[in-house]
Amino acid sequence: MEPVNLVVAVLAAGFAGGLWLAVSGATPRLPAPVSSSTSGGARIARPGRADVRSRALLALALAGGAAIITRWPVAAISLGLLGWFVPELFGSKASRDQATARTEAIAAWTEMLRDTIAGAHGIEETIATTAPVAPAAIRREVADLALRLERQPLASALRAFAVDLAHPTGDLVVASLILAAEGAVGDLGELLGTLAVAAREEAGMRLRVEAARARLRTAVRVIAGCTAVTAIGLVGFNRSYLAVYQGPTGQLVLGGVALLWGTALWWLARMGDFVSPERFLAVDEPYGSVR
């Protein structure tokens, strides 16, 4: 490859990386909206506007860099798709830590309810008392619940709280409080203590699973990095080796290779995901319904 082309390739790659870093640093990180399936399955996170904008810019930067360097449409499309699906492929340690922190926070708040309910006058007062000191990971949701209780019935406010938490353990706590409000629970304190123990065991299980799958996630990053370095090296220093892919047939073959590589990488990434237990509170209605 000619030195001028190599310089252009390096500058294009640097421009793409710089653009993505600038956008990522300037874009506020907002929590993604959450929805659940009608069967009460694990929650599904949908990207927010900021996340979509960051993904789109990264995809455009990678696709534009590939188009400038190789002038191959398949390479531009493949790298554009890679830029869009980077969060799914390589995951986010921050999001996994946040999920574990929310589970531990639900356990701690449940223990607060258990310890406070004996001296409070009802579930509403117990929730209002614990709202200011609730764990930081769920303090906003608990504060919203306390505000709803001032103008909504207890059952409706609790179901809305379950929608906000979008967590299987949170569903158990909400169901217990609703049943207790209806007089169907004999010893609510003991039940809350049992749920708190279960939540802490789930958080511990998450940590063990994350530790066991860290090697798999590292393997995904190593495979992707080695493949990217090999491809960049061939484009930069041995362009004649890739001349066979310049024609329509070569582009078709390259597309098949990119499809197989992307599918394998996605499969490996999926193997490292944590599968949350299914939820049992339906959330299709504004405040859900207990099944």
Cα–Cα distance measured from residue 256 to residue 157, given in angstroms and rounded to the nearest whole number: 52
Cα–Cα distance measured from residue 199 to residue 114, given in angstroms and rounded to the nearest whole number: 14
- Name the helix (H) or strand (E) containing 249: helix 248-271
> Are 141 and 161 contacting, i.e. CB atoms less than 8 angstroms apart?
yes
Query: CB burial class (10 A; 0-12, 13-18, 19+) of residue 180?
Result: buried
The confidence score (pLDDT) of residue 184 equals 64
| Spacing of C-alpha 18 from chain mean position | 24
Amino acid at 185: V
The confidence score (pLDDT) of residue 143 equals 93
Give 34's strand partners. 45
Tokens at 172, concatenated: 């158990």
Q: Answer yes or no: pTM beyond 0.85.
A: no
Going residue by residue through the chain, which has 291 residues, state the pLDDT in tens, using 9 for 90 and above: 444 444 555 555 555 556 555 555 554 444 444 433 333 333 334 445 557 777 788 888 888 888 888 788 888 888 888 888 777 666 666 677 788 888 889 888 988 888 887 766 788 888 898 999 999 999 999 999 999 998 989 888 999 999 888 888 888 888 888 888 777 666 777 877 888 888 888 778 877 877 777 777 787 778 878 887 888 788 778 878 888 888 888 889 888 888 888 888 788 777 766 666 677 775 544 433 333
